[in-house]
Amino acid sequence: MFKSSNYLYLKRNLNPKNLFAHWKNDLISGFIVAIVALPLALGFAIASGAPPETGLYTAIITGIIASLLGGSSVQVTGPTGAMAVILIDIVNQYGLDKIFLISLLAGLIQLTFGILRLGSLAKYIPYSVLSGFTNGIAIVIFFSQLNNFLGLELKGENNFLNRLIGIISHINEINIYALGLGILSLFILIFWRKINKKIPPSIIVLIIAVLIIEFFKFPIKTVGAIPQSLPIFQGVPFWNDFSMIQKLMSAAMAIAALGSIESLLSALAADSMTPEEKHHSNQELIGQGLGNIIISFFGGIPGTGAIARTAVNIKSGAKTRLSGIFHGLFLLIFVIFLTPLVSKIPLTVLSAILMYSAYNMFEWESITFLRKTATSDLLVMLITILITVFFDLILAVQIGLLMAGIIFIKHMSDPHLIRMDNERTAKSGISDEISKQIAIYRMEGPLFFGAIGQFMNLLENLPDVKNVILRMRFINQMDASAIIALKNINTELKKRNIRLILTTLRKEVKTKLIKSGILDEIKEENCFNSTQEALENIAHIPHIERNY
The per-residue pLDDT for range 454-513, each reduced to its tens digit, is 666 766 777 888 999 998 888 877 888 788 888 888 898 999 999 999 999 988 889 988
Number of helices and strands (H, E) in the chain? 27, 7
Contact yes or no for 33/312 (Cβ under 8 A): yes
- All residues at 6 or more sequence positions from 364 whose CB lies less than 8 Å from its CB, including other chains: none
The CATH number linked to 446 is 3.30.750.24
Report pTM: 0.78
Q: Does 20 score more than 50 pLDDT? A: yes
Query: In percent, how much of the chain has pLDDT > 90?
Result: 41
**Same-domain status, 305 and 451:** no
Same domain for 216 and 329?
yes
Report if residue 392 sits inside a domain.
Answer: no
Q: 183 with 280, same domain?
A: yes
- Residue 179, pLDDT > 80, answer yes
* Average pLDDT, integer, range 307-328: 92
* Residue 341 confidence (pLDDT) above 70: yes
**CB 421: neighbour CB atoms within 10 A?**
8
Residues 56 and 185 in one domain: yes
Assess if residue 308 is contained within a domain.
yes
Give the range of the structural domain holding residue 503, as residue numbers without chain letter. 417-538
Q: Write out pLDDT tens, residues 141-156.
A: 899 899 999 998 877 6
pLDDT at 353: 94
| pLDDT surpasses 90 at 540 | no
Residue 390 domain flag: no
Q: Which of 130, 49, 53, 120 is nearest to 83 (CA)?
A: 49
Candidates 159, 152, 141; CA nearest to 92 is: 159
Total domain count, the chain: 2
- Same domain, residue pair 62 and 139: yes
Note whether 176 and 77 are same-domain residues. Answer: yes
pLDDT recorded at residue 273 = 83
pLDDT at 123 over 80: no
pLDDT tier at 107, thresholds 50, 70, 90: very high
Examine residue 35 and state whether it is found in any structural domain, yes or no.
yes
| pLDDT grade for 429, boundaries at 50, 70 and 90 | low
Judge if 209 and 333 occupy the same domain. yes
Distance CA 266, CA 262 (A): 6
Specify the DSSP element, H or E, that contains 438: strand 438-444
Whether 352 and 448 share a structural domain: no
From 348, 368, 388, the end of a domain falls on 368
User: What is the tens place of the pLDDT at every residue in 260-282?
Assistant: 988 998 898 888 888 777 889 99
In a domain, residue 382? The reply is no
- Same structural domain for residues 425 and 333? no
Residue 271 Cα distances to 71, 189, 315, angstroms: 11, 27, 13
pLDDT computed for residue 290 by the predictor: 97
Residue pLDDT, tens place only, 344-388: 999 999 999 999 988 988 888 888 888 887 788 899 999 999 998
Candidate from 45-49, 87-91, 297-301, 390-394 with smallest mean pLDDT: 390-394
For residues 328 and 440, state if they share a domain. Answer: no
CA distance 15 to 11: 6
Q: What pLDDT is attached to residue 395?
A: 83
Tell me: do 426 and 362 sit in the same domain. Answer: no
Residue 13 lies in a domain: no
* pLDDT computed for residue 428 by the predictor: 60
The answer to the question of residue 114 being in a domain is: yes
Q: Do the Cβ atoms of 383 and 399 come closer than 8 Å?
A: yes
| Residues 338 and 246 placed together within one structural domain of the fold | yes
Q: Is residue 73 part of a domain?
A: yes
| pLDDT digit string, tens, across residues 29-58 | 999 999 999 999 999 999 999 999 999 999
Q: Quick check: 426 pLDDT over 60?
A: no
| pLDDT score at 2 | 44
Q: Report yes or no: 221 and 151 within 8 Å, Cβ to Cβ.
A: yes
